[in-house]
């Protein structure tokens, strides 16, 4: 009997206890979804950041979901938008965002700046201006810069030392180094000084370091067929066919570099982990800025954070909190150190962790020093088509079908027709 009474009392207490606790823990939890395209090591870093955020924000559940490569990510976002079930937020390239903005699917981050949990003018200006420009459409900031990388020149230090050369910093030196590191055995080239890719990014590296640009100040007229562009393309074609110190492949070059087939290539600073894996401890390698002719420039690639308009106000508030946190100086440093992407905030470079890490990793510091010269792609919705047109011109010149001048003239004509539509 006593036992039964004790049991009832215990149960009763439990109910009271639970009832007392329940309202507190049932404080409405908000779930937000974050779609990204960061595989392997990069994805793990995202997961770690999410865990860290949740520790400080137990009332927000962040579901970070890997959607495959960038192409797949954009396809899934488009399909989800068409089905009116987009994620709360996602990674997106500027030209994708241009398309989403045209269809009124985006919640501009600018609308949160003035809010209670907003960003001050100083904080906004702490984002690199070039990156902010990439997030701005019609004068309004729609997205926040997130995983941004700069173009870098990766080289085989062992081979350069054997040739008695320092890492090249100009086109001239790059050509000299490539000649010196190309190895010919029995009339066959067994190692090239450089590998190229027939695409717009390789062309961009040389165009921009030669003082050229894609479009004029109106943004509606192509000018990359000027002498700067022609020289840039000619330089690559000469490396391939005149000096025979380079070859080209359509895919990523890290495997060839690791296998010792080439002593140098251009890549993005985020490819650090891939190169590291490909090389292992076979030889010593280094990272430098893209060699220049007129002046240094570092083309920027990578995506921004976009929030979609269909989420509830609570979800949007939560997503904003997460976006703001992800791009805060402390987190952008963590992100940069672990991935090879660049810190998106200027003040991040002054943080102790960043300075210590740069001192300990001089190789990676090179890409950060290139940040001052960062150049972003034009922010036009036609950008993907323009990239393809330029890539085609580069390939035609590589195959020696036409001269660099002819290839670029034709491409400019096509781009201008596209922009005039």
Partner 1 sequence: MPFQRTTARDAARRHKFLTETFTAYLYLLPATAVLVTFHFAPVLYAFYVSLLEWNYISPNPAFVGFANYAALLQDSDFITSLVNTVYYVVGTVPTSMAAALLVAVLLNQKIRGLAWYRTVYFLPVITAANAVAIIWFWIYHPDYSGLLNGLLDRLGLPIQSWLLDPRWAMPCIILMSIWKGLGYNVVIFLAGLQNISSEYYEAAQIDGAKGLSMFRHITWPLLSPTTFFVLIISVIGSFQVFSQVYVMTRGGPLKSTLVVVYYLYKIGFEDFKMGYASAMAYALFIIIFTLTLLQRKYIGSRVHYQ
Q: Judged by CB under 8 A, does residue 75 bind partner 1?
A: yes
Q: Check binding of 126 to partner 1 (CB under 8 A).
A: no
Strand pairing partners for 150?
A: 300
- Residue number, 287 or 306, with CB nearest to partner 1: 306
Which stretch, 169-177, 211-219, 221-229, 246-254, contacts partner 1 (CB under 8 A)? 246-254
- Binders of partner 1 among 381-420, rule CB under 8 A? 384-385, 392, 395-396, 399, 401
Counting contacts by CB under 8 A, is residue 78 touching partner 1?
A: yes
Instruction: Report the nearest approach of partner 1 to the CB of residue 283 (Å).
Output: 19
Count of residues engaged in binding partner 1, rule: CB under 8 A: 27
Q: How far is the CA of 84 from the CAs of 76, 78, 116, 195, in angstroms? A: 12, 10, 29, 44
The binder of partner 1 chosen from 188, 242, 352, 372 (CB under 8 A)? 188
Q: Is residue 187 a contact point for partner 1 (CB under 8 A)?
A: no
Would strands 144-156 and 183-185 be described as parallel, antiparallel, or unpaired?
Answer: unpaired
Contact (Cβ atoms closer than 8 angstroms) between residue 57 and residue 287 = no
Query: What are the φ/ψ torsions at residue 266 (nearest 5 degrees)?
Result: -95, 140
Nearer to partner 1, 119 or 380 (CB): 380
Distance in angstroms (rounded) separating the CA atoms of residues 413 and 223: 10
Q: 22 vs 104, which CB is nearer to partner 1?
A: 104
65 contacts 76 by C-beta, under 8 angstroms: no
Give the Cα separation of 310 and 315 in Å (integer).
Answer: 10
> Exactly one of 203, 224, 248, 266 binds partner 1 (CB under 8 A); which one?
248
**If DSSP codes are grouped into helix, strand and coil, which group holds residue 30?**
strand
> What b-and-e string marks burial along 15-37, b requiring 16 or more CB atoms within 10 Å of the CB?
eeeeeeeeeeeeeeebebbbbbb
Q: How far is the CB of 81 from partner 1 (least distance, A)?
A: 4
Select from 14, 16, 82, 417 the one that contacts partner 1 (CB under 8 A): 82
Question: What part of residues 319-348 is at the interface with partner 1 (CB under 8 A)?
Answer: none
Nearest to 230 by CA among 69, 65, 407: 407
- In the complex, the smallest distance separating the C-beta of residue 109 from partner 1, rounded to whole angstroms, is 20
Binding residue (CB under 8 A) for partner 1 from 235, 247, 252, 325: 247
Stretch that binds partner 1, among 40-48, 70-78, 269-277, 366-374 (CB under 8 A): 70-78
Beta bridge partners of 292: 170
What tokens does 293 get? 């002719």
What burial class does residue 311 get, using C-beta atoms within 10 Å of its C-beta: 0-12 exposed, 13-18 middle, 19+ buried?
Answer: buried
In angstroms, give the least distance from the CB of 20 to partner 1. Answer: 48
Query: For the chain, what's the residue count?
Result: 421
Residue 254 in the binding site for partner 1 (CB under 8 A): no
Helix (H) or strand (E) holding 140: strand 140-141
Are the beta carbons of 128 and 370 closer than 8 angstroms? no
Any contact of residue 250 with partner 1 (CB under 8 A)? Answer: yes
For the bound state, the minimum distance from the C-beta of residue 129 to partner 1, rounded and expressed in Å, comes to: 30
Q: Residue 117's closest CA among 347, 307, 324?
A: 324
Q: Which is nearer to partner 1, 13 or 79 (CB)?
A: 79
- Residue 105 found at the interface with partner 1 (CB under 8 A): yes
Q: Which residues bind partner 1 (CB under 8 A)?
A: 71, 74-75, 78-79, 81-82, 99-100, 102-105, 188, 198, 247-250, 261, 384-385, 392, 395-396, 399, 401
């Amino acid at each position: 009997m006593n036992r039964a009474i004790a049991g009832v009392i215990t149960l009763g207490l439990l109910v009271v206890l639970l009832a007392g606790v329940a309202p507190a823990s049932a404080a409405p939890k908000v779930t937000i979804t974050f779609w990204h395209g960061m595989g392997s090591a990069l994805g793990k870093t995202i997961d770690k950041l999410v865990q860290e955020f949740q520790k400080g924000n137990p009332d927000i559940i962040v579901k970070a979901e890997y959607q495959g490569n960038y192409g797949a990510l954009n396809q899934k976002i488009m399909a989800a938008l068409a089905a009116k079930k987009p994620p709360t937020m996602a990674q997106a390239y500027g030209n994708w965002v241009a398309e989403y903005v045209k269809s009124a699917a985006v919640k501009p981050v600018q609308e949160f700046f003035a809010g209670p949990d907003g960003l001050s003018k100083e904080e906004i200006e702490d984002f690199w201006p070039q990156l902010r420009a990439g997030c701005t459409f019609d004068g309004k900031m729609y997205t926040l810069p997130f995983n941004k990388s700069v173009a870098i020149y990766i080289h085989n230090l062992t081979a350069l030392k054997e040739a008695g050369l320092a890492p090249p910093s100009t086109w001239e030196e790059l050509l000299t180094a490539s000649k010196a590191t190309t190895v010919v055995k029995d009339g066959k080239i067994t190692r090239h000084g450089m590998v190229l890719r027939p695409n717009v990014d390789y062309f961009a590296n040389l165009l921009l370091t030669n003082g050229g640009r894609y479009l004029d100040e109106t943004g509606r007229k192509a000018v990359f067929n000027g002498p700067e562009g022609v020289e840039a393309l000619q330089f690559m074609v000469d490396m391939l066919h005149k000096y025979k110190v380079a070859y080209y492949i359509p895919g990523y070059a890290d495997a060839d570099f690791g296998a010792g087939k080439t002593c140098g290539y251009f890549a993005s600073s985020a490819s650090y982990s891939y190169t590291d894996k490909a090389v292992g401890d076979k030889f010593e390698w280094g990272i430098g800025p893209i060699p220049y002719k007129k002046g240094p420039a570092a083309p920027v690639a990578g995506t921004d954070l976009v929030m979609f308009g269909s989420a509830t106000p609570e979800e949007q508030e939560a997503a904003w909190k997460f976006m703001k946190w992800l791009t805060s100086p402390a987190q952008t440093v963590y992100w940069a150190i672990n991935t090879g992407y660049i810190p998106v905030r200027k003040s991040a470079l002054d943080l102790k962790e960043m300075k210590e890490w740069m001192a300990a990793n001089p190789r990676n510091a090179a890409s950060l020093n290139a940040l001052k010269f960062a150049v972003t792609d034009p922010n036009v919705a036609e950008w993907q088509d323009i990239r393809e047109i330029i890539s085609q011109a580069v390939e035609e010149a590589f195959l020696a079908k036409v001269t660099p001048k002819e290839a670029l003239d034709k491409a400019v004509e096509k781009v201008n027709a596209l922009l005039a539509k």
